[in-house]
Amino acid sequence: MVLLKNINELKVWCASQKSIGFVPTMGALHAGHLSLVKAATLQSETVLVSIFVNPTQFDEVEDLENYPNTLDDDLTLLKASGVSAVFLPDFDQLYPDDYRYQLSENDFSMALCGAHRPGHFDGVLTVVMKLFNLVKPAKAFFGEKDYQQLRLIRGMVKAFFLDVEVVPCPIIREKDGLAMSSRNMRLSKKEREIAPQLFKIISSGQSIERMQKMIEAAGFELDYLTTQGDRLLVAATLGEIRLIDNVPYNNLRTLKKPVELRSVETCPSKPSNVE
């Protein structure tokens, strides 16, 4: 596995590859990330993973400062997963303009998480555009866990005629249903016990109003609980940690079938439909 620490090394490496499957991450890798890597290895000749904690998408300094860093473990996991190369840029490499140039979407990015995290999606879209321009991947893999992000990246690809296929990958959960997230490791023991309630409640088939009450009664501070297409999306804070999740949902207010818990082993290699 090749480590690419700067843009020059990245460009030379990418130029020597026929077709790249790309998995952008912020590190602190878990089975959710590895499911994207697995999908990429099944669908691409070579797989490039980037690890970059992108400061421009953090709306709170504390969240950025406390973001977990497990680089050595991450590299061990990626090597064992058959990844060809890992790109490890720093801020100066990726932002020679010091973020004077930004990419923004002015509609959906303002809703849901965007309404609670000003500038978040500008940071996400800007860094993903930079990475796409550098890597020029044939396919890029994103998790449905960050459903709004996935929709916005697909929208950006369409709007700017980017020659990359965005492949959505299903949410990977812990055994108790909690959607895997790098932030979960910052939950206290008590919060970790409460956290799976979020998934249980949004999969319960109750009315939205009832679910709102249940989420708050469980001890969460609710940011939003709303439907978007055939999804029910939630964001709620437990202590200091903001959790997001989503499940398939139909207008009859009941789930057609229970949400399947997926582990990396059962994660399909074929994409599911997001739009």
Active site residues: 33
Residues 6 or more apart in contact with residue 69 via CB below 8 angstroms: 27, 28, 53
Rg of the Cα atoms in the chain: 18
The burial of 251, by beta-carbon neighbours within 10 Å (0-12 exposed, 13-18 middle, 19 or more buried), is given as exposed
Query: Is 26 a binder of ligand AMP (CB under 6 A)?
Result: yes
What is the Cα–Cα distance from 147 to 224, expressed in whole angstroms?
14
Query: Is 142 a binder of ligand AMP (CB under 6 A)?
Result: yes
Query: Is 172 a binder of ligand AMP (CB under 6 A)?
Result: yes
User: Which CB atom, from 35 or from 197, has the smaller least distance to ligand AMP?
Assistant: 35
**Pick from 21, 32, 123, 137: which binds ligand AMP (CB under 6 A)?**
32
State the amino acid at position 252 in one-letter form. L
Sketch the per residue contact string, 174 through 213, with ligand AMP: x for CB under 6 A, - otherwise: -----xxxx-------------------------------
**Contact window for ligand AMP (CB under 6 A) among 69-77, 128-136, 165-173, 206-214:** 165-173
State the amino acid at position 140 in one-letter form. A
For the CB of residue 39, give the shortest distance to ligand AMP in the complex, in Å.
Answer: 10
**Pick from 17, 25, 43, 203: which binds ligand AMP (CB under 6 A)?**
25
Query: Is 146 a binder of ligand AMP (CB under 6 A)?
Result: yes
Cα–Cα distances (Å) from 228 to 79, 81, 151, 168, in that order, read 37, 34, 11, 16
State the amino acid at position 271 in one-letter form. P
Binding-site ranges for ligand AMP (CB under 6 A): 25-26, 32-33, 35-36, 142-143, 145-146, 169, 171-172, 179-182
